[in-house]
A and B are shown apart, each in its own frame.
Chain A
Amino acid sequence: MNTEGSKPKLVFVGNGMAGTRTLEELLTLTSEKYDISVIGEEHIGNYNRIMLSPVLAGEKTIENIILNDDDWYRLNNITFYKGEQAVAINRVKRLVTTSSGKHIPYDRLVLATGSTPFRIPVPGCDLENVLTFRDIKDVNRMLELSRHKQHTAVIGGGLLGLEAANGLRKQGMDVTVVHAYDSILNRQLDKTASRLLQHSLEEKGIRFLMNAATESIAGNDRNEVTRLDFKDGRHLDVDMVVMATGVTPNIQLAKSCGLQTDRGILVNDVMQTFDPAIYAVGECVQHRGQLFGLVAPGYDQARVCANHLAEMGIARYIQKALATQLKITGIHAFSAGQFDNVADSEEITFFDGQLGHYKKLVLVGNHLVGAVLYGDTQDGGWFFELIQQQTDISPIRDQLIFGKDFCQWPEQASNHLPEAA
């Protein structure tokens, strides 16, 4: 299988969160099995991408969010091709060709190519100062512009868009969130939580333009963005735009070497592509029809993939309910599972208007299937566990929404029952 060394060669394409986690998981299982190489496009060791928002908000520095620095690669005997892009894969010869012309042989290959921010295809979408929010480069650009630009629009009222808006607002900009729907975070929150969140963000000085579909983006003679025009005739004068309207899986490399792809790289339950030597994890994959944009499923996939790379062969990736958490300091919003228009569902709600605390639990039969929390998210993790484990909550239903501390299961509670009066 290999000609030179005694150990098979394992190559990672991509140095993002899912790829790195796969590597870390593998090293905890076995550090001796492979000669490992990592090809990473960015000029930096791997970092916690989801912490870019606090960096943008000035609450953390890049150093704070580095997960593994160069020493880590060295200490673990990993060959790190930093700042190189994989441009081709020869599956017959089992070689990866990089942007600098290197040919890196592999016995096993892990594709963790991630995704690319989606730019809405309207006239002017490629003007100067129309940015996306994906990596350190983007953050640095935004920070730089925020120093001499004043009016910015963030297109997209999803998690990333709101975090970008908050960060830019904290950098002193005048920020308007432009959202195509009537409530922000419409995929993560229900209307009530969304309204509370919008209210909190408005108190921080962020403005909102709802139900606004961008028709075109106009620029000046230096090709710099000046104005957004919407389909309903409204417009907004801006000197910077951040598009946070979703991502597209990076599948070009896989596609060009003949791997089966759809919207993402198709993988089976052990994260193998149609080539048994090639695995894929993270935002670039499509598993059972589903794409992934959050870190948690990426980590789950990493665990499965590492297990198979270590030739233990017992793990299987099963999609689980997802939880999302907004990372804006002082604002707590959480959701998990299904909570909108769930068939045959019942709801438990809690609302403390003065504190701005809102909770909604969605149940089907005796099981929790979804949770939306706003203001007090302390029990989000526990609700998420109950959703994932499909726990029968009927004995604690009356106390459920108040959280784990208030829910004693009957067998525990029996000692504390008051005597009959």
Chain B
Amino acid sequence: MANRSTCAYCGVGCGIEIHTNADGTPRVEGDFEHPANFGKLCSKGSTLAHTLTDEGRLLHPMINGLRASWDQAVSYVANGLNRIIQEHGPDAVAFYVSGQLLTEDYYVANKLMKGFIGSANIDTNSRLCMSSAVAAYKRAFGEDSVPANYQDLEIADLIVLTGSNTAWCHPILFQRIKAAKLQRPDMKVVVIDPRRTATCEIADLHLPIKPGMDVALFNGLLGYLHANDKIDPDYIAAHCEGFDGALASARAEGDLSRIAARCDLSETDVATFYQWFAAIDRTLTCFSQGINQSSQGTDKGNAIINCHLATGRIGKPGASPFSLTGQPNAMGGREVGGLANQLAAHMDFDEEDVAKVSGFWRSPNIARKPGLKAVDLFDAVAAGKVKAVWVMGTNPAVSLPNAGKVVEALQKAELVIVSDCIETTDTSTYAQVLLPAAGWGEKDGTVTNSERRISRQRGAIAPAGEARQDWRILTDVAAAMGYGEHFPYKTAADVFREHAQLTTLNRNSHRKLDLGALDQITEAEYNGMAPVQWPTLPNIDSQRLYGDGNFSTPSGKACFIAVRCQGVSNPVSTEWPLALNTGRIRDQWHTMTRTALAPPLNAHKPEPFVEVHPDTATEFGLENNKLAHLQSPWGQAIMKVNVTDSMRRGELFVPMHWNDQWARGARIGELVNPSVDPVSGQPESKHTPCKAAAWQPQWTAIMLSRENLPLPKCDYAAKIRGQKFYRYELAGTGSTEDLMALAHKLACTEAKPSIEYRDSKNQNIRCAWLDQQGLVTCLYVGPGSSGIIANADRNWLASLFDKPALEPVERKALLSGKSPAGVEDCGRTICACFGVGEKTILKAIKQHNLTDAADVGKRLKAGTNCGSCVSEIKNLLQQAG
């Protein structure tokens, strides 16, 4: 029986079915009935089953590195939090949660912190992802409500994808657009992105905009629409406020040629974009991290929304500003209020809302003001103001900007609690208490995707070890802290029901969030719940919002926001001449705790890399496939260079994923500037000034091992999990005098290699360890960036781990690093002087009709030196004849 659930990765929120194979192993397929994906899955979703493994899992609670029972751990956490609250007040504790949590988990965390601890110091990694979009929606519409849905992607006549590498980050949505465009070739796609990403495959127009200039581009558009009478004055008059101010602000950015120059775009291209936008009613503008992760992300969102408001294109079929969220439940988190600047259920900290929620929760101690947002939160930990932090299902030591400071903060905190399904993350290293959380395939609850669609996640397998659902852990801690009667939940459905009831407090307000039809949901109904968009009220079409022009503001009118382009907060300079951009790649997710477990996903981009334009590479002496040292005022990193003309000159792109579990020196968050958007608090992860130089290692190495060896502590390391092996790409500084000692250290063995190769001049060492079961480890290490290391045939070496034993020719070839494919088995040696084998001789005899030993000698030299083998050659001639 298949178990229907929701994919654990991006914000598309695809439906999946978890099947069980005959051998008991799980298999994941797309759910054909789910309206997000209709059965399709991307590379990450297709390999979800690989992540249903106990490998690397945290299996039981730990206190100060020692195994503990749940009772011990829960009371340790509760006592610790209570003590700190008593001594330093509620604002001395904080939760840092995750868009990976389910709505139910989020709800309990939010209720505990805001309702009963009495602080709003709960923020989420959604802060890094979509808080600018949230803020922009709230400023414009009065509520964090996405007007569009996925069908709009198929019926729009113009899709503007801005700051979104949809092809890699929301692959299923990209496929839907691509399929629609095939059906209707007239449909136009404009991609606005400094990089020529994979998304540009379907672009009719690509605008490689200068980073940070989006407000100017969209303000220019607003000015253009106005100047060309393409605005909808009736709509503006009836449904909007603040148009004049926004227009004045927009016009001050300059005319089209000025805008093009500032954005470093061709005037023609900008004009084409503006003309298309002006002419095409069904225009959908999809935006993502390229807009959000900015010191002016909220303004960028509003600049986009302003253009849609001016043309009346909100919540209409194929026409809306559409934020594509990054995480599976970023939206659900926002719905319960899991951000420091929201209270609960889209309600805020005004007196009326506080009173409503306080009454509903029966919590006199409710927080009355916003708490600390992600970056500020960890700054406060570092400053000693926040003494206890509970991190749930996320990895801030990797993902937050200026990640080095986060590590410092974690080291400094009195109490660090981490609940995660993975035992060792860069963050859990600093925790006193580790709480094993159930993984996605084990969890029960709901998530909300980018189109406001609530889908069930249904556990398909039993939690690993003693792992528990996050809501249950929080419920237990709440009880141990003395709030048991307010946290009576026995099941996820209990939590969901209460959450739905809380949203109904919005019913008679201007807000749209209302799960009214679900507020009495039974256990059975909850278990069978089909995907549904909110608001969930009878007789309300919730496919799109605001199509009637009735917004969530007190006046019911949408707000134009007057914005001006400010560029980036830390521009490039002579000292820091390059602009660092960060983002996702196709086959990895966040900090790789799950995706790196799936061998197929590690093949696409196995190593951390920096993309750079050929001219910039030349200017800074960077070579393709060699290592580069990147440095910003906040940190440094080392990674492989990937020279590509898809980049703008003077800019770098580095994936956000790699961290100390899978790499050394590649934690790009260390470099990212900690400047944030003043409204949303979202960091500017898309632009950090930095510099780059070729990095010359003293030695480089490649190692493949059957064993999961610890990642060596060297300057550069990347660990890549394969089907039956782990691959290590390594480079370091330090002495190369005793390469054999280094080899032993890297391979974590004192045993003498079964096979070894040394070259005294190049000091090139190659070693292999074998046992009865075949190849254990092979290692190639040389000074500098040794050719053999770069050229070793990694695919062939990997294939050897599938074999129970090596063929003789493979064993001989092993340390050459090259496949013996094409090398003929020449058979038993006949002529020892010239190394001619039996099979070679027989082949030559047949091929050339040789009749005597002298002919064989002429052709193959065999038998022409000492002549010892002539009689055997004669035998072979007889045999062949």
Chain A residues with CB under 8 Å of chain B are: 48, 50-51, 54, 60, 64-65, 67, 295-296, 299, 323, 325, 327, 332, 334, 346-355, 357, 363, 376-382, 384, 397-399, 401-403, 405-406, 420-421
Contact = CB atoms under 8 A, between A and B. Distances in A.
Contact of B823 (A64, A354, A405): A405
Contact of A381 (B761, B770, B834, B867): B834
B20 interface: no
9 contacts: A60-B871, A349-B758, A352-B755, A353-B752, A363-B761, A377-B835, A380-B835, A398-B762, A405-B820
Given A48-B867, A421-B625, A352 B816 contact: no
A380 B833 contact: yes
Contacts of A67: 867
Given A348-B758, A380-B835, A51 B868 contact: yes
Contacts of A332: 829, 832
Nearest to A379: B835
Contacts of A363: 761
A406 B819 CA distance: 9
Contact of B837 (A51, A378, A402, A421): A378
A347 B757 CA distance: 10
A351 B832 contact: no
B759 interface: yes
Nearest to A350: B757
A346 B761 contact: yes
B743 interface: no
B769 to A, nearest CB: 11
B755 A399 contact: no
A196 to B, nearest CB: 14
A406 B835 contact: no
Interface majority SS (helix, strand, loop, mixed), chain A: mixed
> Nearest 7 CB-CB pairs, A to B?
A381-B834, A346-B761, A405-B823, A402-B816, A381-B835, A352-B755, A378-B835
Contacts of A346: 759-761
B754 A376 contact: no
Interface in B637-653: 642-643
Contacts of B861: 381
Nearest to B808: A355
Contacts of B822: 405
Interface string B788-823: 100100000000000000000001110110101011
Given A65-B871, A402-B812, 9 more contacts: A296-B865, A346-B760, A348-B757, A351-B757, A357-B812, A379-B835, A380-B833, A398-B791, A421-B642
Contacts of B824: 405
B756 A350 contact: yes
A48 B865 CA distance: 12
A145 B234 CA distance: 124
Contacts of A405: 820, 822-824
A381 B833 contact: yes
B43 to A, nearest CB: 18
A354 B754 contact: yes
Interface string B717-758: 000000000000000000000000000000000001011111
B553 interface: no
A83 B407 CA distance: 96
Nearest to A361: B759
B816 A406 contact: yes
Contacts of B812: 357, 376, 402-403
Contacts of B832: 325, 327, 332, 334, 377, 380-381
B868 A420 contact: no
Contacts of A377: 829, 832, 835
* Interface size of B as a range: 35 or more
B866 interface: yes
Nearest to A382: B835
Contacts of B642: 421
Interface in B865-881: 865-868, 871
A346 B763 CA distance: 10
B614 to A, nearest CB: 11
Contact of A398 (B756, B788, B831): B788
B835 A354 contact: no
A379 B833 CA distance: 9
Nearest to A408: B818
Contacts of B521: none
A352 B754 contact: yes
Contacts of A376: 812
A353 B752 CA distance: 9
Contacts of B787: 398
B872 to A, nearest CB: 10
A181 B395 CA distance: 67
Among A64, A376, A398, A399, the most chain B Cβ lie within 10 Å of the Cβ of A398
A228 B780 CA distance: 52
B46 interface: no
Nearest to A64: B871
Contacts of A384: 833
Contacts of B829: 332, 377-378
Nearest to A365: B761
B776 to A, nearest CB: 12
A351 B768 CA distance: 10
A357 B823 CA distance: 19
Nearest to A377: B832
A296 B752 contact: no
B764 interface: yes
A348 B754 CA distance: 17
A403 B809 CA distance: 12
Contacts of A406: 813, 816, 818, 820, 823
Contacts of B758: 347-349
Contacts of A398: 759, 762, 764, 787-788, 791
A58 B721 CA distance: 56
Nearest to B756: A351
A214 B628 CA distance: 67
Contacts of B836: 381
A405 B813 CA distance: 10
Contacts of B871: 60, 64-65
Contacts of A401: 757
B624 interface: yes
A348 B760 contact: yes
Most buried by B among A379, A381, A397: A381
B833 A325 contact: yes
A379 B811 CA distance: 16
A323 B831 CA distance: 14
B641 to A, nearest CB: 11
Contacts of A380: 832-833, 835
Pick the most buried of A346, A376, A402: most chain B CB atoms within 10 A of its CB: A402
A106 to B, nearest CB: 28
A269 to B, nearest CB: 22
A50 B867 CA distance: 9
Contact of A348 (B752, B759, B818): B759
Nearest to A401: B757
B826 A378 contact: yes
B754 A353 contact: yes
Nearest to A327: B868
* Residue of B642, B787, B791, B816 with most chain A CB atoms under a 10 A cut-off: B816
A349 B610 CA distance: 37
Most A C-beta atoms less than 10 A away, residue of B787, B834, B866 = B866
A348 B813 CA distance: 15
A354 B760 contact: no
Interface in B182-196: none
Contacts of B837: 378
B754 A399 contact: no
A139 to B, nearest CB: 16
A399 B816 contact: yes
A384 B864 CA distance: 14
B768 to A, nearest CB: 9
Contacts of B791: 398
A347 B758 CA distance: 8
Nearest to B831: A381
Given A348-B757, A398-B787, A50 B820 contact: no
